[in-house]
Structure 1
Amino acid sequence: MFSIILNIVGSLMHFYVVHRLYRVTPIRARLSEQHSAKVWWLGALVLWIVYLWGVQLGDEALDWRWWPGQFALTWLGILFVMTLFLLAADLATGFGLWWRERAPRVLGIAALAGALVSAFAIFQAVRAPAVSDYEIVLQDLPAKLDGTVLVMVTDLHLGAQRRSGWMEKRVEQINALAPSAVVMVGDQVEDNPIGEARLATVLRGLKAPLGVWAATGNHEYYGDAATTIAEFEAGGVRWLIDSSVELAPGLVLAGIDDVGRLMRGGGDYTGGLKSTLPQRTNVATILLSHIPAAPIIAGAAERGVDLMLSGHTHGGQIWPFSYLVQHRFPRMVGEHKVGDMSLVISRGAGSWGPRMRLWQPGEIVKLTLRAPGKG
């Protein structure tokens, strides 16, 4: 059903944008000849067919099918942005019923603005993730661990469009922050395992004396999660799946298995949290939970967790969808206080669907841990 709705909406936007662009004076002038107009509409029809074909293929495949799939999703994102601008122009001019002389010019300005904003959104998605820096006070952190640096990455979405070469550059970014530990908080892959022998070598390039740790996200389970886990383990990544480890005396790192499947099924999905942290902690505790679901946040705070790290929301990725995401996850991105617990939600280093981000780029998060009275 979702696919059908997506195809209908995408098709409507496609032909709306094509039709309104045809009304832009410079374009219309170049297509004044009948033959040229036929070429325009034939091209629009071919592009629509390629779009529908790409939507059906998807972009999770690691072979040639990624190209039409990724084109379709990015074209859908461009259509959405263009529709926003063109529709605003049409509403302002009453679809040409008033301001008749100026309407084509307003439509042209809207088309140019939509194209520029779409290009900027693509740039924001393909550029290197920005580094966000937080200093977090952990009430139970021993003084000798004050200044410990953790680097958090989430929503890498490694797959067809981001392979080992892209990850190698992220490793360089992470190492430049001199972390004591690196935590990967879910959706390390788009869907399927990467299947590149080079990935293990790249991951082993991470320099973190206290280790590289990971929690699962919903996308791990859209493919062969067991093979994905093994691929990352080959690179020295250790997974925390409803388990915990003492990073250093007085500092515990815990991670819960992705709760996405249980959330979709309804009912209680806090079992992993309860089994991982059965009682209130009395040491500095950091929890990795890919999805910042309200019951998980509340349960972690009740159990004395000092810091919870999440991703999943992508910061909304493309405005104005951020408002829809925030309706589902009120704490959508950034740092939040929940009682005595700090919650940090990353907008992710990669992207999902259209390779577009509007307005913020992806991010890598640097966390400097502070003992009470030391910050």
Structure 2
Amino acid sequence: MFSIILNVIGTLLHFYVAGRLYKIRPIRDRIAAPAWWLGAGFIWLLYIAGIQIGDEALDWRWWPGQFAMTWIGIQFVMALCLLVADLVTGFGLWWRNWAPRLIAVAAVAGVALSTFGVYQAMRAPSVVEHELVLKNLPAALDGTVLVAVTDLHLGAQRRSAWMGQRVDQINQIAPAAVFMVGDQVEDNPVGEAELATVLRRLKAPLGVWAVTGNHEFYGAVNTTIAEFEAGGVRWLRDSKVELAPGLMLAGLDDIGRAMRNGGNYTDGLDELLPGPTNTATILLSHIPAPSLVENAAAKGVDLMLSGHTHGGQIWPFNYLVQREFPHLAGAHQVGDMALVISRGAGSWGPRMRLWQPGEILKLTLRSAQKPGQIAMN
């Protein structure tokens, strides 16, 4: 069903953009209509073939699949720019002498924005810092630095070498602990022996911890978990651990399946934290579902970390994503609980981001109690 939707949307965008571009006089004067539409048809066939092949495979099939996903992203941005020109000119009904020029300007803008979007997705994630006051945090842990990274989407686009660069970024922060908050892989396990070696280079005295996201379950989830465990990553699957004296870390297994099936996706949290807690608690949950956020705050969780939304990834999808997840990205206060949602370090689908780049979170914990010594920096 998803591929059918992509086929329909991609086809409409493709031929709309092709049709508007052929209104540009230099193109129309230099390329005969049959040749133009033959070329447009050929690229469309490549797009359809790429969608059918898919871009999650880790062999040659990645190339046509990734072309298709990036192409639909480019066509979307191009279509937005061209649509503005069409609306201004009434689709050529008025300002007829200016319409081709405005379409040309819109096309140039579309190419520029698409190029910028690809650059934003391919550049190194930014390190975004948040200082968070936790009401139950012991004074001795004031100043503790943590790193959270979500939505790595390791796979065909990003391999162990890319992850190694992220490890270097994280180690420069010198965190006490590292949290991987879901969608570590695109779908399938990475399948590279080098991954374990790369992950073992992470330096975090309080450990490297992970929870599953929806994409882990699109492939062989147990194999993915084993791959990361081989690199020293410890998984929290509806379980909790004392991270440091007076600081609890809890992690939820992905709730995406329950959400898609209309089930009660707060059951895992209710079993994990059956009642309000006065202990400083950090909760890792990949999807920041509104009911889950409210329930976590009611249970006295001090800090909830999530991802999944990608911050909308490509404008203006952020407005659509925000309809389902009101807290789209960044730091929010929900009652006494701090909620931080990451845009993610990787990307999904088109390797494009417009406007914000990917991010790695540096979190500095502050105690609401009497300040004490700074620990584990």
Task: Say whether the fold is shared (TM-score over 0.5).
Answer: yes
Secondary structure at 1:229 match in 2: helix
Who is 2:11 aligned against?
11
The residue matched to 1:135 in structure 2 has which SS?
strand
1:305 partnered with 2:301: yes
The Cα offsets for residues 171-193 of structure 1, whole Å up to 9 and x where unpaired, read as 00000111000000000000000
1:86 maps to what in 2?
A: 82
SS at match of 1:282: coil
Counterparts of 1:80-159 in structure 2, within 5 Å, are 80-159=76-155
User: TM-score of the superposition, structure 1-length normalised?
Assistant: 0.97
What is the one-letter code of the residue matched to 1:299?
N
Q: Does 1:292 align with 2:285?
A: no
Output the CA distance in 2 between the equivalents of 1:299 and 1:11. Answer: 42
Give the ranges of 4+ consecutive aligned residues of structure 1 lying more than 6 Å apart after TM superposition. none
Deviation of 1:39 after TM superposition, in Å, equals 2.7
Paired with 2:256 and 2:286, the residues of 1 have a C-alpha distance of 9
**Displacement of 1:12:** 1.2
- 1:335 paired to 2:340: no
User: Residue 244 of structure 1 corresponds to which residue in structure 2?
Assistant: 240
Give, in angstroms, the shift of residue 6 of structure 1. Answer: 2.1
Aligned to 1:326: 322
1:283 matched to 2:279: yes
Out of 184, 189, 195, the residue aligned to residue 180 of structure 2 is: 184
Deviation string 1:294-326 (CA, Å, 9 cap, x unpaired) is: 121111111111000000000000111111100
* Matched residue SS, 2:270: helix
Asked whether 1:364 is paired with 2:360, we answer: yes
Alignment partner, residue 29 of structure 1: 29
2 CA distance for matches of 1:278 and 1:100? 68
What is residue 160 of structure 1 aligned with on the other side?
A: 156
In structure 1, C-alpha distance between the alignment counterparts of 2:38 and 2:202, rounded to whole Å: 51
Q: How far 1:345 sits from its partner (Å)?
A: 0.3
Q: What is the DSSP-based 3-state SS (H/G/I as helix, E as strand, rest coil) of the residue aligned with 2:18?
A: helix
Structure 1 counterpart of 2:211: 215
Deviations 1:198-244 (A, max 9, x none): 00000001000000000000000000000000000000000000001
Aligned 8 A contact 2:139 2:367 in 1: yes
Q: C-alpha separation between the residues in 2 aligned to 1:140 and 1:367?
A: 16
TM normalised by structure 2 equals 0.97
Q: Distance in 2 between matches of 1:327 and 1:6?
A: 21
Counterpart-to-counterpart distance in 2, 1:86 and 1:321: 18
Structure 1 residue 374 displacement after superposition: 4.1
Instruction: Find out whether 1:230 has 2:235 as its counterpart.
Output: no
| Unpaired segments ≥5 residues, structure 1 | none
Unaligned runs of 5+ in 2: 373-377
Give the aligned partner of residue 262 of structure 2. 266
Note if contact 2:140-2:371 (Cα within 8 Å) is conserved in structure 1: no
Letter in 1 for 2:350: P
Whole-Å separation in 2 of the counterparts to 1:191 and 1:5: 20
2:375 paired residue number: none
Residues in 2 aligned to 1:284 and 1:361: alpha-carbon distance in whole angstroms: 31
What's the % identity of the aligned pairs?
71
Shift, 1:142, TM fit:
1.1
2:186 maps to amino acid: E
Measured after TM superposition, the shift of residue 27 of structure 1 is: 1.5
Q: How far has the Cα of 1:270 moved from its partner?
A: 1.1
Alpha-carbon distance in 2 for matches of 1:13, 1:280: 51
State the number of aligned residues. 371
Q: Which amino acid aligns with 1:66?
A: W
Per the alignment, residue 73 of structure 2 pairs with: 77
CA distance in 2, matches of 1:310, 1:125: 20
Report the CA distance between 1:79 and its aligned residue. Answer: 0.5
Deviations along 1:333-374, one digit per CA (max 9) or x if unpaired, are: 111111100000001000000000010000000000011154
Alignment root-mean-square deviation, CA: 1.1
Cα distance in 1 for partners of 2:239, 2:329 equals 25
DSSP 3-state at the match of 1:141: coil
User: In the alignment, which of 183, 199, 204 is matched to residue 200 of structure 2?
Assistant: 204
Q: Would you say the 8 A contact 2:241–2:248 is kept in 1? A: yes
